[in-house]
Structure 1
Amino acid sequence: MCSNSNNNLPIIRFTNCQILRDHKIISEDLWVRNGKIINPEPIYYLEKRLADIVIDCNNRLIAPGYIDLQINGHFGYDFSNCDIDIEEAVHKTALGLVKHGVTAFCPTLVTQSRDSYHKILPQIKRTAGSKSYGSTNLGAHVEGPFISPSKKGAHPIDYIKPIGSYANIQDMYKHMDNISIITLAPELDPSGEIVRQLVKSGITVSVGHSMATLEEGERGINAGATFITHLFNAMLPFHHRDPGLVGLLTSTGITKQIYYGIIADGIHTHYAALKIAFKSNPKGMVLVSDAISAAGLGVGRHKLGIQDIEIKDNNKAFISGTDTLCGSIAALDYCVRHLRQVTGCSTVEAIECATLHAAQVMNMADRKGTLAFGADADFNILDDKLNVLATFISGQCVHKNDETLDITI
């Protein structure tokens, strides 16, 4: 008999379901204890126990919880607005995102002033997901200010800076412990030394908002960068003699898997470009919402950092008075459905682009983005159309949208 103190904790068994495990969908029950996914065999044979709670899933699909690595705000909250309570904004967003199956996310900041970073970043503390908090806060994704002014997108040009030195980066952000991802233009770090130092400090480096050639992009990846920020957007367009950062998807000049974010909202990325990217490098695609404060809201004027934005018809968000897109208002669950519909990929492939691949970028695929034994019990119950029926974080139901599911935990 095992003597582990967890033995007295309740065991939950999700039955009459299919689960996504080991890159395939299988007919198998899911067992949970103490917020973790467990192997039922030792429970039965060593502890001589059965489940304390059994939940009938009505033959639905259980998939890992979605992970959004780039989200600027939601539900009226903008993480780049230093005049609001950012900690509250992140918390309220965390509570709202579970409705879309998002169980972990990186609050993302557009280019800011030094003073704004110093005010905002202390308020974006990594926080474990729970029923009371909502989705897990994985730490900030700072998108700038070390980017190309020629590919600034919706970023305010007055605050864009050259890198200079690692000390400049530390001085700009100050609160580096709260940062998980930094997007920078790799041509600003030609030796790769800055990238190497950031990676050594535990920060994921993403290349983007860049005029980089393929060779410059390869140098950044070989120095330690592992991610591309919103592929196709805010970078040189693909050219047959120098494909730029887009060429990293099939480059032989790098020796590791490259991951790339893509906004599959049907607006930022044409369906043909989405298909080209997926067919070129399916294992590297990471769906991101790039959602802004107006996501979840209607047509009208809103804020993104210091700039006014406007939501027009067709669910498009622009910098007010211009035709410059400035972020998506689509939720990640929509992006999963759109990817499957447009590319014809399998259900497993579509879901892994919002789960496993994102977890791999963050070096946490042993805990997140998977239903493997020992992983965090963060998952969604989905219907055949991949609509989110229920969301669980650490084995607790944090959202339910289907009254036929008898869930009381």
Structure 2
Amino acid sequence: MFPRRVELSSSVLCCDYFFYLLLFLKLFESMKSKSSITRFHNCYILRSGKIIKEDLWIRDGIIENPEQIFYVEQLEADITVNCDNLLIAPGFIDIQINGGCGVDFSYDSDNVQNGIDKVAKKLLEHGVTSFCPTLVTSHPKKYHQILPQIKKSQGGKHGASVLGVHLEGPFISLAKKGAHLDEYIKTPEKGIETMCQVYGSLDNVVIVTLAPELPGAIEAIKDLTKHGIKVALGHSTAGLAQGEEAIRHGANMITHLFNAMLPFHHRDPGLVGLLASNTEKQVYYGLISDGTHTHPAALRIACRANPEGLVLVSDAVAALDLPDGNYRIGPQAVTVKDGRAFITGTDVLCGSTAALDQCVQTFKKCIECSTEYALEAASLHPARALGIDNKKGKIDFGYDADFIIMEPNTLKVLSTWIAGEQVYSVKISK
């Protein structure tokens, strides 16, 4: 009798287990069904490279499939927003921005979080929902002080999401230093070991820009990519062969194409040649389309050579959204005159004063591309470059509800949304 009683008790426990499991699932579905559902109606949506007339459904910060809501769950929207034929596009992702609103990410090590918060809040006005704060070549002490304070964070009404830090230097070429201070430029002789000595922790880093021709650079690229850090090639005198070697070992980006690198030459096209080389993976390249850094013809050449790899970046400095005057970029003084930023006392450009939405507008006008392409170059393409295009960069089912509502013709940002929450809207004067 004893074995039979045990068997019976097991059956009862099993039945009880499934009963409570079923009860839990029903409770979960009930809680889910009570989540607020928002429907954006009478709007145009950028989806899969096309602008279509379709409603957008949001629940719990995620873009939902309306068929699931209608036919499976048989629910209706709690809130319906009439968009009055406006355009909904993915939120912009700026993977290279040095600061803004008077803040330089590389300089003030005492108020890092305040500076990040200030810029993150301002970027919402420009349709940027995620960004990579960028640090330029600096003294190792600055990296050790600043890097631990810039943590990845989810955006909201307080500001855009921080995806992680972009380190531009100091492992770059002296000959192509651009606006970087030469006394802090270094060689990664021992690969990532040297980098860790200079940077300290790499925990909050997502991109490192380096010159692939430097001793130890290839080993550094291998190790950085093993740690999940993307490597961009830039501030470099590398030829095409050196660039291709770097790509084979893990690099996947070029920093601000055409700027701070060898010019294109028909015998050795340099890093520019990576746009059309026979590498087995997609090479992404940043372009600053602020009307100053890159000629419209150069924009068109790059776009036609490698359209899928084009990533619009602002490369904005502390003077973003501020008038002409004196500012900083890392250890150097900056003078802004007529909207152009130069290292003080020189004619060396040092970043842009334009935000990413302005770069999108300028880009579209300069190369006369489609609206769809211009918008994806600042959203889907950077998401792909960072490997986060499974959740960001698209208006598609299951993706984060990070998007902007725009005027279709001018591409003026009217409101910005993160995780389905409106975090910015244009003030309408009465």
The answer, yes or no, to whether TM exceeds 0.5 is: yes
1:327-406 aligned at under 5 Å gives the runs 327-383=351-407, 384-401=409-426, 403=428
Structure 1 contact 190–216 (Cα < 8 Å) conserved:
no
**Counterpart of 2:93?**
67
Mark the CA change 1:49 to 1:85 in structure 2 (over 3 Å): closer, same or farther: same
Which residue identity lines up with residue 179 of structure 2 in the other structure?
Answer: A
**Counterpart of 1:407?**
none
Shift of residue 83, structure 1, vs aligned partner: 4.2
- The secondary structure found in structure 1 opposite 2:213 is helix
Which residue identity lines up with residue 46 of structure 1 in the other structure?
Answer: V
Shift of residue 82, structure 1, vs aligned partner: 3.5
**Counterpart of 1:199?**
225
Calculate the TM-score normalised by the size of structure 2: 0.91
In the alignment, does 2:345 pair up with 1:321? yes
1:270-285 aligned at under 5 Å gives the runs 270-285=295-310
- The secondary structure found in structure 1 opposite 2:414 is strand
Mark the CA change 1:377 to 1:56 in structure 2 (over 3 Å): closer, same or farther: same
Structure 1 contact 79–89 (Cα < 8 Å) conserved:
yes
**Counterpart of 1:96?**
122
Structure 2 contact 210–217 (Cα < 8 Å) conserved:
no
In the alignment, does 2:261 pair up with 1:261? no
Structure 2: segments with no counterpart, 5+ residues: 1-24
- Write the distance in 1 (CA, Å) between the matches of 2:315 and 2:305: 22
Structure 2 contact 342–348 (Cα < 8 Å) conserved:
yes
Which residue identity lines up with residue 358 of structure 1 in the other structure?
Answer: P
Larger Rg: 2
Question: Which digits, 9 at most, give the CA deviation of each residue in 1:85-128, with x for residues without a partner?
Answer: 11110111100000000000000000011111000101110010
Question: Which digits, 9 at most, give the CA deviation of each residue in 1:197-255, with x for residues without a partner?
Answer: 10010101000000000000000111111110000000001111111000000112x11
Which residue identity lines up with residue 309 of structure 2 in the other structure?
Answer: G
Shift of residue 190, structure 1, vs aligned partner: 6.6
In the alignment, does 2:17 pair up with 1:16? no
- Write the distance in 2 (CA, Å) between the matches of 1:82 and 1:157: 20
Structure 1: segments with no counterpart, 5+ residues: 405-409
**Counterpart of 1:29?**
55
**Counterpart of 2:181?**
156
Q: CA RMSD in A?
A: 1.3
- Write the distance in 2 (CA, Å) between the matches of 1:191 and 1:102: 32
- The secondary structure found in structure 2 opposite 1:380 is strand
After the TM superposition, list the runs of 4 or more consecutive aligned residues in structure 1 that deviate by more than 2 angstroms: 1-7, 189-193
**Counterpart of 2:3?**
none
**Counterpart of 1:123?**
149
Selected match of 1:308 from 326, 333, 337: 333
**Counterpart of 2:166?**
141
Shift of residue 12, structure 1, vs aligned partner: 0.3
**Counterpart of 1:230?**
256
Structure 1 contact 189–195 (Cα < 8 Å) conserved:
no
Shift of residue 304, structure 1, vs aligned partner: 1.3
